[in-house]
Chain A
Amino acid sequence: MEKKRVLARIDIKNKYVIKGVYLEGLRKIGNPMELCQRYAKEGIDEIVFMDAVAALYDRNSLIEIISEASKNIFIPITIGGGIRTITDIQNALDAGADKVAINTKAVKDPEFITEAVSTFGAQAIIGSIVALQRESYWEVFIDNARTRTHIDAKKWSITLQDLGVGEIMVTSIDRDGTKKGYDTELMNEINKSVSVPVIASGGAGNKKDVIDLFIKVDCSAAAIASIFHYNLEKISGVKNEMALHGIEVRK
């Protein structure tokens, strides 16, 4: 059986790694190449680079980072943020990315996902859902969590699956950067709704949060930023703890 994956999520703005709270209030914390190489050496399963600004002027610097990263690390690399055209995807894959994560463009133009999947294959396309908890549902947000859509995240996950994405990454706005733990209810709702692998993102503050996620939710992967960026835990520390709890993990 496939092991539970531990992903490092690296948010980038103007060539720097940044981390915000609630996807806002971004602060610089380091150099993306140094971080991704350290993570790969320490046994991370995948790297996700997210363009935190998703502005066109920043596109080339992210492509350069991917291009450099793919010469030095030999694990799956995902790029997300600001993917708007088939050419954007082509450029990302040509630079050495294996997958792209798409949120805003998918909401605005769902057919784009169908086209992307038929051009590059489902394995290259991750549907990214960024959601905020409302009273009776989780609402999908786009444009880096700035714009509400009134779309129900659970229903949207099923639509994304039907459009053909190979994986779904779910980020909780309520938990992002808070170190309060994953929104396991949201993750569970979505994981139960779809048969494609689900990656949980947002809120991990220590290794217990990761354990808590995998005990409560049978999702495929946990994306982690703050814990590793601030060196709060070692990657091996998180993975050993997972193994101690009977969660199958690559060491």
Chain B
Amino acid sequence: MLKVAIIDYGIGNLRSVINAFNSIGVDSFRARSRDEILASDTLVLPGVGAFGRAMEKLEELSLVTTLKEFSASEKPVLGICLGMQLLFESSEEFGYNQGLGLIPGNVKRLPLKEKNKLPHIGWVQLEKGNLSWDSTILKGHESIDVYFVHSYHVVPEQDSVITSFVDYSGEKCVSSVQYNNIHGCQFHPEKSSYDGLDILKNFANLA
């Protein structure tokens, strides 16, 4: 049976991700050790909170090398929310923080303009990016509403990795990416109702 390793590094709510995979009949488990991670078919890096602290935790648990090793194996990887941001090279959240560097680009704060609300919280309809959705985990939908909660957003070096955008007070912010076997979404598929579950199903089916 297909196994999804959900990286358990003490950051954020794994329960929801596991529940979501369970509901679509995909076996997932909390993974911390190198062996169990490398033995799984796909990997999900969840996470909420601060970038720097999350990287520290990954370092503490010696997961940085393991995550890079897994990604190099060409098996599917999915970063969710902060987990997606960690896939990039660096973040400007509370100073300069180095990321996993699996996708070229970095992480910046959302622009705070007058009348804007930060954190950016709520349901937003995704706009199509440069990659056709047919070849991404967003496939099967013409229009998708998903749930976001974040104050930072990713800025990939190459536009070609961008699979969707959202409008944040007139500015286009990247909401999902795909770079070879590495996938990322700024929104929470596990909290985005039926559309979100479909996205997780598409991801699990890549294995």
Task: Given A70-B15, A71-B19, A96-B13, answer yes or no on A3-B119 (Cβ-Cβ < 8 Å).
Answer: no
Whether A30 is near chain B, meaning CB under 8 Å from some CB there, is no
Taking CB atoms and an 8 Å cut-off, the chain B residues in 152-172 that contact chain A are: 167-169
> B125, B145, B151, B191: which contacts A74 (Cβ < 8 A)?
B191
Taking CB atoms and an 8 Å cut-off, the chain B residues in 172-207 that contact chain A are: 188, 190-194, 196-197
Is A76 a contact of B191 with CB atoms below 8 Å? yes
Select the stretch in A11-19, A53-61, A119-127, A135-143 that faces chain B: A119-127
Whether A109 is near chain B, meaning CB under 8 Å from some CB there, is no
Is B117 a contact of A220 with CB atoms below 8 Å? yes
A43: which B residues are within 8 A, CB to CB?
193
Is B193 a contact of A75 with CB atoms below 8 Å? yes
Interface of A is mostly: loop
Is A196 a contact of B119 with CB atoms below 8 Å? yes
Taking CB atoms and an 8 Å cut-off, the chain A residues in 38-79 that contact chain B are: 40, 43, 45, 70-72, 74-76
The CA of A197 and the CA of B49, in the complex, are separated in Å by 17
A1: which B residues are within 8 A, CB to CB?
124, 167-169
Is B123 a contact of A123 with CB atoms below 8 Å? no
A94: which B residues are within 8 A, CB to CB?
15
Whether B16 is near chain A, meaning CB under 8 Å from some CB there, is yes
Whether B9 is near chain A, meaning CB under 8 Å from some CB there, is no
Is B115 a contact of A2 with CB atoms below 8 Å? no
The CA of A123 and the CA of B48, in the complex, are separated in Å by 8
B117: which A residues are within 8 A, CB to CB?
2, 195-197, 220
Q: How many residues of B contact A (CB 8 A)?
A: 40
B101: which A residues are within 8 A, CB to CB?
none
> A2, A95, A98: which contacts B122 (Cβ < 8 A)?
A2
Name B120's closest neighbour in chain A (CB-CB): A2
The CA of A43 and the CA of B123, in the complex, are separated in Å by 12
Contact with B along A205-242 (1 / 0, CB 8 A): 00000000000001011000000000000000000000
Given contacts A71-B23, A75-B191, 10 further A-B contacts (CB under 8 A): A1-B124, A2-B122, A71-B22, A76-B191, A96-B19, A97-B13, A98-B16, A122-B151, A123-B149, A195-B112
Chain B interfacial positions (CB closer than 8 Å to A): 12-13, 15-16, 19-20, 22-23, 48-50, 112, 115-125, 145, 147-151, 167-169, 188, 190-194, 196-197
